Structure 1
C-alpha cells in the first residue's frame, strides 16, 4: 500500500538568536513560523498523507504560549495528519511544551508521539514507530524497541527518531542519543526518518536526516529543506524529493587581505543569494594600511544595511601603517614624537607591545580624520 509523507525536523521554533540584535533577530524568530506555514502549504500542494516531524519542533520546553499557538496556527494549510516527536530540545518531560500544548487543546489531526508505541495511520497503510526522547540525553538507543514491534500486514513501517547514527555523521558530529546504523534493516523499516543533524543527508540504507528547514548556522550542510517521501509498497525503495523551503541564507566568508580591502568587498558582492536574506559571518585576516582599514570599515557599514545581518571578525587583521598613513597625521611637537615612537614599536615584531602600538596608531589616525572632517565642514 502506497504512502506519501513529508519528513522534516529541527524547526526549533522559539530559538532566541541572542547574538543577532534588534529587528534582525526578531525577523529570524518570526521567519521560523513562516517556514512552518510553507511546509504546511507544500504538504497540501503535494497531497501527502502525513507530515512527520522528527524532533525539536520547538527550541525548548520553555517557549511562550504565544509561540505554541502561532505554530499550531501555521499548520492549518494542511489538514492531514501531523506527527510530532519530542527531541532533545523539546523532550517529553513530565511538564513540557507538549503537555502545555495538550492542555491548550489541539486539533485532532495533530498527534504527539511521546510514547514508544506504534501509531497506525491512513487505515493501516502506514505504521509509525516513534522513539521519543524523555530527557535531553538518553543513555540507551531509544529505537531498540522497533525490532520487535508489530504492524499490520502490508503496512509501511516507518521509524521516527532523533539522535546520532553511530559512526556515520560527517566530521565531529555529536554522538548523543546514539542510534544503530542498521536499525532500518533490523526493524524491517521502509524508512527511518531522523532529526538532530541540521542538514539533509542519507546516512544509511533507508535512513535519512531531513535537516533544519530554516537554516540557523554558518555551516554548508544542505539545510533549508524537507523531504517528500513516496513508499510505493513495503519493501520498495523509497523515492525522495528534497524540496527547498528555507528563507534565510547563512553565509560564511574567510578572506585574507594583503594591503588592500578589495578582496573582502568583492567577496561580499559575489554572494549569489539575495543579499537581503543573507546572514553573513565575515572573518578577515592579514594586514591593511590605516587608510585601507578606514575605507574597509566605511564600506562594511554600508554592507550592514544591504544584508540581513553582518558579523565581522577582524581579530586576525593587523594594522600595517605606511609612511603615507603617518604623514597624513600632519602632527608636530610632542604628538609627532609619540607617533614616531608608536610606529617604531608597531614595526618591531619582537616588542610585546607591538599589537597595542598598532591599535594606538589606528586610534590616532581615526581621531585625526574625524577632527579634519569637523574642521572642513
Structure 2
C-alpha cells in the first residue's frame, strides 16, 4: 500500500521585487520554510517517497548558498525524494543541478532525474517514470514515452512530468510543454504527478497538479498545498488528500465605495488582517473626507499587522461634504481651492486632483489638531 507526498513548483530563490525589502525577504524565505514543512509532513505520514514534479529552483542562477540551504531543508525526511527539473530549472548541459552536484550538496536519498528514466523501488512496490525538461520549452509531449515504458509486474506505475495538460489549462500559463490529457490511461499509470500549474488541480482520477506549497502570486487557484497520495495496489484508484503547507495568504480585491456602510465594511476587513496576510486593495467610487480619514487610519494600523498591505487610493474620488469643509475651518481662498479640486476630479487628471485634495485636507486637519487659527480669505499658506 504505497504512500506518496506529491509536490512541485517550489521556485526556490524567487525574488519579489514588487514588495518593499522588509516584506520581500520573509516572503522569499517562506519558500525554503515550506520545504522543511514538507519534510516534516513526509516523516509524520511515513510516506514511501516524496515526488517533486519540477521547478524546484526559480532560476539557473540562484546562489550556491541557496542550493545548499534547499537540500538542508529536506533533511527532516530520510526516505526517497524524487526530483525532476521543470522549465525554470531545466537540466541543461550546465545548470543549477550540475552546480549542486559539484557542490556535493545532494544527499544520497535524493534522486535527481535529469534524463528520462524509470526508477524502480521494488521493495516499496513502485516504479517512477520521469519526463524531466532538458530545455526551458519543448513542443512535443515528453510523456509519450510512458506508453511504451516497461516496468516489472506487480509494481505501481507512477509518472512525473512538468508542463501543460492540453485543452485543460489556460493558454497563457507559464510553460509551453504539452502533456496529453489522457496520458495516465494510455500509459497505464496508477498516478501521474504534475507540476507547472501553481494551484492544486485534479485533471482526472489519476492525474493531479499539486500546485506550489507556498503561495507566490495573486491568483485564487488553491495554492499552498501538497498532496498525500495512497494507492492500494496496481490498478487501484489513488486516494488523494490535500495537506496545507503554505504560511501566507495572498488576496487581491477592488473595493468600491458609494455609501457610508461601504467604508465600514472595508474597515472591518482591514481589522481581520494578521501576519499571514499579503494583501492588495484597490479603491474606487467616492467618499467624503471623514470616511477617508477613517479608512487611512485603519489601513495604517493593518499595515503594521499584516505581512504586506498595499491600498491604492488612486481611483477613489473625494467628495467633501459641507460638514467636512466646515470641520477643516477652510473658508475663503482655501474653500475655493477645495471646490476647484472637487471639480477637477471630473477632468482629465482626476487622480492628481484627488491626491491634491487629500493632501490639502490632511494639512488642514493637522493644522486644526495643532490648534492653529482658521485659514480664511487673504491668509497665506
- Please confirm whether the aligned pair reaches a TM-score higher than 0.5, indicating the same fold: yes
Report the CA distance shift for 1:47/1:288 in structure 2 as closer, same or farther (over 3 A): same
- Partner deviation per Cα, 1:257-304 (whole Å, 9 max, x = no partner): 124321211123356xxx221111222221111232122112211100
TM-score of the pair, normalised by structure 2: 0.90
> 2-side partners of 1:343 and 1:246: how far apart?
45
| 1:170-249 aligned within 5 A | 173=173, 176-249=176-249
- Partner deviation per Cα, 1:37-95 (whole Å, 9 max, x = no partner): 11111111111111110001111111111111111111111111111110111111122
Report the CA distance shift for 1:368/1:166 in structure 2 as closer, same or farther (over 3 A): same
> 1-side partners of 2:344 and 2:201: how far apart?
53
- Give the root-mean-square deviation of aligned CA atoms: 2.1
TM-score of the pair, normalised by structure 1: 0.91
Report the CA distance shift for 1:88/1:294 in structure 2 as closer, same or farther (over 3 A): same
Report the CA distance shift for 1:17/1:49 in structure 2 as closer, same or farther (over 3 A): same
Q: Secondary structure at the match of 2:285?
A: strand
> 2-side partners of 1:204 and 1:170: how far apart?
17
Q: Which residue of 1 aligns with 2:111?
A: 111
- Partner deviation per Cα, 1:205-230 (whole Å, 9 max, x = no partner): 31011111111222222211111112
Instruction: Tell me by how many angstroms 1:316 deviates.
Output: 2.6
| 1:1-377 aligned within 5 A | 2-105=1-104, 106-123=106-123, 125-169=125-169, 173=173, 176-260=176-260, 261-270=263-272, 275-346=274-345, 349=346, 351-353=347-349, 355-375=351-371
Instruction: Tell me by how many angstroms 1:174 deviates.
Output: 5.3
Partners of 1:259 and 1:288 within 8 A in 2 = yes
- Partner deviation per Cα, 1:161-203 (whole Å, 9 max, x = no partner): 0111111126965562110000001111111000111111111
> 2-side partners of 1:89 and 1:79: how far apart?
26
- Partner deviation per Cα, 1:104-144 (whole Å, 9 max, x = no partner): 11221111111012111244722111111122221111111
Q: Secondary structure at the match of 1:129?
A: strand
For structure 1, which runs of at least 5 residues remain unmatched after alignment? none
> 2-side partners of 1:306 and 1:358: how far apart?
27
Partners of 1:226 and 1:242 within 8 A in 2 = yes
Q: Secondary structure at the match of 1:219?
A: coil
Q: Which residue of 1 aligns with 2:379?
A: none
